[in-house]
Chain A
Amino acid sequence: MTDNKKVIAILLAVAKKIESEKVFLTELDTAIGDGDHGINMARGFQKVEEKLPSLADKDIGVILKTVGMQLVSTVGGTAGPLYGTAFMQAGTTCRGKMELDFAGFAAAFAAAVQGVKMRGKAEPGEKTMLDALCPALAVIESEVKAGSNAGKALANAVQAAKDGVAYTKTIIATKGRASYLGERSLGHQDPGATSSLLILQAIAECI
């Protein structure tokens, strides 16, 4: 499905997508948060972009763990430790690997989502990034079992994440800054779920 060089290209694409949508992410976060999600994510991924060339000949595990450390060190808001942990946990499943097949990708993605759950102490239904990530993961895992083509599976996973983002509009936040707003968070889509969707879209566009 991919190799270490392609992983770097994918991460560059993710960084570019985040940068291009940072204003939108910040607007979402202004409505139900502290108004810094887009700015923070762009800052973190800018640093990731700068770091990537030095990782050109490293294995996928090292690349992902380095991305994770970079994010927790520079994002600044909750997305830092959450995405940081996600990438670091994904990295531990790819230790020493220069290539990744679809099953390997699914295992890395599952580790990433488990990392977010562990770090954020949240579950789906609380209006967080998990509401995009968990449906996407469920699709990936069933597509791997069915022996599907990675490209098609990722497109389906992106759709599940999109549906998850739409779902976040219909629920009240019970985690994060938005939880301080209670019912006032209804009707607004979650910024973290949105950035998760963007990341998945960037990955899917590369495969």
Chain B
Amino acid sequence: MVGIVVVSHSQKLAEGVLELAKMMAPTANISAAGGMEDGSAGTSFTKISEAIDEVYSDDGVAVLMDMGSAVMTTEMVIESMEARKIKMIDCPVVEGAVVAALEAMAGATLEALEEKVAAARTTKKIND
């Protein structure tokens, strides 16, 4: 199963996203990397590294990020893990995580999952 990592500047936000995703996909392999090691706001190279380690398998890992340094720090973590199959997905973090967890649980490959999750960028919340 593809693993999923949620990266946020806020520990609570990352954990909250996991909570929502797991409501729809209880057996998804998903980990949170939110905030700094002391709980303050920010993105942590170590937390992201450890979260990827937690859910990594040969099926690969999809990483979702909130903004700014979440993206850049994740990039640096991936550069330090050259041999691994990891994709950063450009999508809103809450909606993207729910779609990712569902797709992963349904056995999607990392490539197929990435396509479905990226589509969350344009999904409407309020229908006409």
Contact = CB atoms under 8 A, between A and B. Distances in A.
Interface of A: 34, 36, 40, 72-73, 75-78, 80-82, 84-85, 119-120, 176-177
B69 interface: yes
B76 A85 contact: yes
A81 B41 contact: no
B42 A81 contact: no
A72 B46 CA distance: 9
A80 B75 contact: no
B42 A40 contact: yes
A73 B44 CA distance: 6
B72 A120 contact: yes
Interface of B: 36, 40-46, 68-69, 72-73, 75-76
B69 A77 contact: yes
A80 B68 contact: no
Closest 5 CB pairs of A and B: A76-B42, A81-B72, A78-B69, A73-B45, A76-B36
Contacts, number: 45
A40 B40 CA distance: 11
A82 B46 contact: no
Given A73-B44, A76-B40, A76-B41, 10 more contacts: A36-B41, A36-B42, A40-B42, A72-B45, A76-B69, A78-B68, A81-B72, A82-B72, A85-B76, A177-B68
Contacts of B68: 77-78, 176-177
9 contacts: A36-B42, A40-B42, A72-B45, A72-B73, A76-B41, A76-B42, A80-B42, A80-B72, A85-B76
Contacts of B72: 78, 80-82, 119-120
Residue from A36, A80, A82, A84 having most chain B Cβ neighbours under 10 A: A80
B69 A80 contact: yes
A86 to B, nearest CB: 12
A122 to B, nearest CB: 11
A119 B69 CA distance: 10
A119 B42 contact: no
Nearest to A84: B76
Contacts of B69: 76-78, 80-81
Contacts of A34: 41
B74 to A, nearest CB: 9
A51 B44 CA distance: 18
Given A81-B69, A176-B68, A177-B68, A76 B44 contact: yes
